[in-house]
Amino acid sequence: MTSLYDEVQAAPGAGVPTRRVTIKVNGDDRTVDVEPRLLLAHLLRQGLKLTGTHTGCDTSNCGACTILFDGRPIKSCTMLAVQADGHSLETVEGLASASELHPIQEGFKEEHGLHCGFCTPGMMLAAKALLDKNDNPTEDEVRWALSGNLCRCTGYQNIVKSVLWAAEKMRAESN
């Protein structure tokens, strides 16, 4: 069980009501007590120690916190942790299996789709949501699907190539 910020031993404001929620995160059920105002991104990062999900802005613009919520991409800074009760989440930590990378991860490395790496987890999950629906997107479709995620370093061109690289590999694997 995890309090709001579990590195703080003295639970903040004893007496503050919390709710117990059970969330499937990357396939594992996690049960935690959370204060209603805790943002889902913060639960992932602090409570569940999944720091691959980043928060880059306060206004739901940047998409660095993008995760999959029941398979669809959402901005986890714009959802409350309590709202994830009973739902299934996938974060960047769930992309690779123990032995191999997801083709999207390989694509980002192969096509130099990242510089500082801060937007990368959100980009990759937005890309996964696209490829799950459309295994052969055009460049424009990739650009459109990623237009809720900001990157400051790459200029996007290599991110687009990374996603197309992954799509090709995924198609080859499924054949």
Partner 1 sequence: MYPSRFGYELPKTVEEAVALLDAHGGEAKVLAGGQSLVPMMRLRFAAPEMLIDINGIEALHYNRVDADGTVHIGALCRHEELEDNPAIAKAIPTIAAAAPLVADPIVRTRGTFVGSVCHADPQGDWAATMTALGGHIVAQGPKGKRDIPIADFVIGPFQNTLAFNEIAIEAVIPAPKGVRVGNYLKLERRVGDFATASVAVSLDMKGDTVAYAGIALAGVGGRTINANAAASALVGKKLTAENIASVAAAVAAVAEPRTDHRGSADYKRQIVKTFVERILTGLLNTSQKAA
Partner 2 sequence: MALDEIKIGGLGASRRRVEDNRFIRGKGNYVDDIVLPGMLHMELLRSPVAHARIKSIDVSKAYDIPGVRLVLTGEMMAARNLAWMPTLSYDTQAVLATDKVRFQGQEVAAVIADDPYIAKDACQAIVVEYEQLPVIVNPFQAMESGSEVIRDDKENQPGNKIFDWEIGDKAATDKAFAEADVISKMELHYPRSHPSPMETCGSIADFNRATGKLTVYMTSQAPHIVRAAVAMVAELPEHMIRIVSPDLGGGFGNKVPIYPGYVISILASILTEVPVKWIEDKTGNLISTGFGRDVYLQGEMALRKDGKMLGMRMKTISDHGAFYADAQPSKFKIGLMHSAFACYDVPAAHLESVGYYTNKAPGGVAYRCSFRVTEAMFFQERMVHAAANDLGMDQAEFRRMNLVKDDMFPYRTAFGFLTDSGQYGKCLDIGMKAIGYDNYKAEQAEARSRGKLLGIGISTMTEPLGAGNSREYDILGIKMFDSAELRVHMTGKAILRTGAMNQGQGHQTTWAQIVAHELGIPADDVTVEEGDTDTAPFGMGTYASRSTPVAGAAVAMVARKIRAKARKIAAHLLEVSEEDIEWELGRFYVRSNKERGVTIQDCALAAYSNMPDGMEPGLENNAYYDPPNLTWPFAAYFVKVEVDAETGVWDVLKVVAVDDCGVRINPMVVEGQIMGGLTEAYAMASMQYQTYDDEGNCIGSNYMDYLLPTAWETPGFELHEVVTPCPHHPIGAKGVGECATVAGPAAFVNAVVDALGHLGVRNIDMPMMPNRVYEALTTGKDISGMPPVKMGD
Q: Which residues bind partner 1 (CB under 8 A)?
A: 16-17, 19, 35-37, 39, 58-61, 63, 66, 69, 72-75, 77-80, 82-83, 85, 126, 129, 144-149
Residue 21 pairs with which residues in a beta bridge? 32
Burial track 82-106 (b if 16+ CB lie within 10 A, e otherwise): bebeebebbbbbbbeeeeeebbbbb
Q: For residue 47, give the nearest of 70, 28, 31, 59 by alpha carbon.
A: 31
43 interacts with partner 2 by CB under 8 A: no
- Residue 83 touches which of partner 2, partner 1, none (CB < 5 to 8 A by kind)? partner 1
The one-letter amino acid at 142: V
The interface mask with partner 2, positions 81-100, x = CB under 8 A, is: ----------xxx-xx----
141 interacts with partner 2 by CB under 8 A: no
The one-character DSSP state at 129 is H
45 interacts with partner 2 by CB under 8 A: yes
- Residue 116 touches which of partner 1, partner 2, none (CB < 5 to 8 A by kind)? partner 2
- In the bound complex, what is the minimum distance in angstroms from residue 98's beta carbon to partner 1? 29
- Residue 72 touches which of partner 2, partner 1, none (CB < 5 to 8 A by kind)? partner 1
Cα angle: 91, vertex 149, 152; to 5 degrees: 115
The one-letter amino acid at 170: M
The one-letter amino acid at 158: N
- Residue 110 touches which of partner 2, partner 1, none (CB < 5 to 8 A by kind)? partner 2
Place of tokens 């949501």: 129
